[in-house]
Each structure stands twice: as structure tokens, then as C-alpha cells.
Chains A and B, each alone.
Chain A
Amino acid sequence: MAEFSTSTKDVGEVSVIYLQGYLDAHTAPALENTFSNLVEKGKYQTVVNFKELAYISSAGLGVFMAFIEKMRENNGDIKLSSMNDKVFNIFDLLGFPLLYEIYKTEDEAINKYIESKNLEK
């Protein structure tokens, strides 16, 4: 039973991570791996799509905490998108919206990267 899985897709320079299933202490290492792989490849601009994520516990939230600084130090970010209410409420409860950019759609999040890149030029 695959209770959790991730897949990634590159949109230009941005890597989109799709989460699916239940993210808890047991499955969090899988997400950690995904992030580690991206860091290894030097891909720091990430968008996490929560659309298919049914459940998240603090162990899962911890993964984002663990990687956010690494990404930002390298001119990247972890932007979150497409959360259902249930998952968003947990993020909200912990005050994550202060630390993370959360968007309604994946495209919005990706566009933010593009916008900021244009600004730099």
C-alpha cells in the first residue's frame, strides 16, 4: 500500500514536487529524499503541490523547516500551493503562512519565480 509518494516535474528552472497520500513520521523521509536530490542537483527553486495530499503531521511539516533555509540561501525558495482546507489549517495553526509563501495554484507559485527573475533584470 503506497500511502505516500512524491513526484517531481521541472517547469523551466522551477521544480514542482507533487505530494500524494499521507505525510507522517513514517513517510517524511521520502520527502526528505526528494528535497535532498533537488539540492544535490542544485535545484533550489521549488514549488510543492499539495493537491493530492490527504494528511500531514508535524513530522511532515518539519521537512519543510529543514530545507527552507538551504533553498533560500541559494536564491531559491519552497513555495507551497494547492492545499486543501484541512492541510492548510494545520499550516495556519503553526503560523507557517508567515514563513512560507502559500498560493492557491501551482501556476501562481511558478509565476512568482518568473516575476522575481524579471525584476532582477
Chain B
Amino acid sequence: MKSKKSKIEEKELVVKSRTENLSDIREFVSQGALLIGLPAKVIDNIILAVDEACTNIIKHAYKYFPEGEIIIRLKFSSEKFTVIIIDHGVPFKPETIPDPDLQRYYRQHRVGGLGMFLMKSLMDEVKYVSVPGKYNQVLLSKKLSATH
């Protein structure tokens, strides 16, 4: 009753923290985004951002522990498409990860931070909150009006 103005719909997927589930996650996000008729290019970007977020969770929050839970929740409103990804692993601070400097990585044989950078570049909004000992949430959103 309260949300007559902007119709909000939600979809949820719960998967185990395994890289093999990444394709299911991408499929789920893709289906969800198709429902509200986003352009293919935008959907591709959202899928990649969610993939990166989940990869981070599997690697860093759960440290490849295969029985962790990842909850992916899609929210559609007239203004934006929001993905909230919840995990119960080790919190990490996305702000502390600097944008990647490829030249430096090249020299240091290091690979990392690319995912975070991609998420920030591909989405309009990337937010992270951690309630220590409880859960972590990553929020990704894409404005619908600004996509052309």
C-alpha cells in the first residue's frame, strides 16, 4: 500500500560460495535485468559487476570456503536497478582498495583490485557495509534514466 508510486519488485537467489556457481549467478542477474527491459549493454555491465562482487566474496570473505552462503537480491524500481549481495564471511574494506595501477601490477606480478575497479566503473553506485560478526552487504545500483 505504501509503495504505490514506485513499484518495487524483488528477486532473491541463495547460492553456496563456490566459483562454479558464478554462471548461475550471472544467469539469475541476466534474467532479472531482462524483466525490466534494460539494454543488453547495460545488462552485460551489471552481470560483470555482480560477478566481480561475488568473486571477491568467494575469494576474500569466505577465502574459498565452499559452504558459505551468498545471497543475491535484485530490486527493481522505476528509477534504478539495485543488486544487494549479502555474505556472512570476513568483512573487507572496499575503500581501502586503491584503483589498480596496471604498470605497477605488471612490475610486481600482482593481480588484484581489478574487480573492485570494474565494479566502480560499471555501476552508478557501489556501496559496502559490514556488520561485524553478522553479515556484509555490497550494494550495486544502476540508474535507469541515465542509460542510453
Contacts and interface: CB of A to CB of B under 8 A. Distances in A.
Question: Does chain A touch chain B in the assembled complex, meaning CB atoms less than 8 Å apart?
Answer: yes
Interface of A: 3, 22, 24-26, 55, 57-59, 61-62, 65-66, 68-69, 86, 90, 93-96, 98-99
B58 interface: yes
Nearest to A96: B102
Interface of B: 18-20, 22-23, 26, 41, 44, 47-48, 51-52, 55, 58-59, 100, 102-103, 105-106, 109-112, 114-115, 117-118, 121-122
Nearest to A65: B111
A40 B125 CA distance: 44
A99 B102 CA distance: 8
Q: Is the interface of A mostly helix, strand, loop or mixed?
A: helix
Contact of A94 (B55, B58, B100): B100
A69 B26 CA distance: 31
9 A-B pairs with the lowest CB-CB distances in the bound complex, closest first: A26-B19, A62-B111, A58-B114, A58-B115, A25-B55, A65-B111, A25-B19, A57-B51, A24-B22
A61 B55 contact: no
Contacts of B51: 24-25, 57
B20 A26 contact: yes
A58 B52 contact: yes
Given A86-B44, A90-B48, 17 more contacts: A3-B23, A22-B26, A24-B22, A25-B22, A25-B55, A25-B59, A26-B18, A26-B22, A57-B48, A57-B51, A57-B52, A57-B115, A58-B114, A65-B105, A65-B110, A94-B117, A99-B103
A59 B114 CA distance: 8
Contacts of B118: 57-58, 90, 93-94
Nearest to A56: B48
B121 A24 contact: no
